[in-house]
Amino acid sequence: MYQNYDAALSKTIMFLRFPLIVSVVFIHAGLEGVVIGGNVTVHDGQFPIYESVYHVITNELARVSVPLFFFISGFLFFYRTDFSMKAYGQKLKKRVRTLLVPYVFWNAAALLAFVTIQIFMPSLTSGNNKPILDYGLPDYLDLFWGHPISYQFWFIRDLMVVVLVSPLVYWLLKFGKGYAVAILGALWISGLQVDIPGFGIVAFFFFSFGAWFSINRRNFAVDFSRFRCTASVVYPILVAASTLLWHLNVDDRQIVHNIGIIAGLVLVVSWSAHGIMTGRLRANAFLADSSFFIFAYHGMPAFFFVKLYVTLLRPASESAMFASYLLIPLVTIGLGIAIYVVLRRYLPAFTAFITGGR
């Protein structure tokens, strides 16, 4: 069976793109700590059953998605490439279109949207922040880089940084071999934080992890498949352990949580590849193509729907909280797909521009 993995690898990557984006939307659709008019509307401990389910899905299971995106990005960056400075220059030129242009556009769009909300719908704002129109240059720089106003684009920011230093990554992996990946992994697992925007250890580790497979001409679906059964046992145990530590308010649970993410990455990839190979799963090209648009667009709608839900319904029960956790992501994703269909049909050049040609 395994001889078919090479042919299934690209389909596996294509298949994963949409469900991983769905999990990202779920991460950003919670009602916890929502502030409207200076008041917190949903407090910690107010809905314990919902909070437990929310934690498992959002703070455990869904947290595999972003590291896996970094991993796939690193793999594809070096895929079937004899890396050289010429190749590096060509790749940087391409990433201007696929990363930098969408990064600038969507942050500018979010900035305009927030200004509009502050002027015309101030009741939906927290009331704790200075009006954007009163910002100075340092504030705007922070909105575009330090803390992107289109908050999910921190991923693109960190990806652009690691792409810029990719020759260093290549050198480390070529001469440091797997030891370099292991060291980066140990630093990430330990919870190391770098207080320089764009230099997150999660990006460097998982991008390098994926790059290692390409540089060494290895198929990660094949390698991960060997651990599919093991990961199927280990990952739920680590998720349960991390959740228990969270319930016990143990602050130092990062090591268990991060090891769980690695196990989850292996689990997701290996079972997806297995499903593709056996014909039980199929990659949907349209959903895969729409993934970047949904990633880029979902921040503002999710923010708006969360605020609107709390403002209008004032959830006061577990069922109302569960309803919000299902409805807000589904409405956000459904609306995103509909907008993408219209844009791609009537404004294909513009759609390609704002999605980096994807």
Q: What is the pLDDT along the chain (358 residues), one digit of tens a residue?
A: 444 667 789 999 999 999 999 999 999 887 776 655 555 566 677 889 999 999 999 999 999 999 999 999 999 999 988 888 899 999 999 999 999 999 999 999 999 988 988 888 776 666 667 788 889 999 999 999 999 999 999 999 999 999 999 999 999 999 998 999 999 999 999 998 888 999 999 999 999 999 999 999 999 999 999 999 999 999 999 999 999 999 999 888 999 999 999 999 999 999 999 999 999 999 999 999 999 999 999 998 998 898 888 878 777 788 988 999 999 999 999 999 999 999 999 999 999 999 998 7
CA 309 to chain CA mean position, Å: 24
Cβ atoms of 212 and 181 within 8 Å: the answer is: yes
Instruction: Specify the pLDDT at position 1.
Output: 40
Quote the CA–CA distance of 144 and 60 in Å, as a whole number. 28
Element (H, E) at 40: strand 39-40
Residue 255 token pair: 């090591």
Instruction: Specify the pLDDT at position 352.
Output: 96
Residue 184 token pair: 């980066």
For residue 114, CA distances in Å to 53, 124, 158, 319 come to 31, 10, 23, 30
Quote the CA–CA distance of 251 and 245 in Å, as a whole number. 8
Instruction: Specify the pLDDT at position 4.
Output: 61
Instruction: Specify the pLDDT at position 241.
Output: 97
Instruction: Specify the pLDDT at position 224.
Output: 96
For residue 346, CA distances in Å to 87, 157, 343, 349, 352 come to 35, 30, 5, 9, 12
Residue 201 token pair: 């250890």
What are the residues whose beta carbons fall under 8 Å from the beta carbon of 217, sequence distance 6 or more? Answer: none
**What ranges do the domains of the chain cover?**
2-354
Radius of gyration of the chain measured on its C-alpha atoms: 21
Quote the CA–CA distance of 23 and 290 in Å, as a whole number. 15
Residue 129 token pair: 């922040």
Task: Measure CA of the first residue to CA of the last residue in the chain; give whole Å.
Answer: 32
pTM above 0.85, yes or no: yes
DSSP H helical ranges for the chain: 5-27, 48-54, 65-77, 85-95, 101-120, 137-141, 154-164, 166-189, 201-215, 220-225, 228-247, 254-278, 285-297, 299-313, 318-346, 348-354
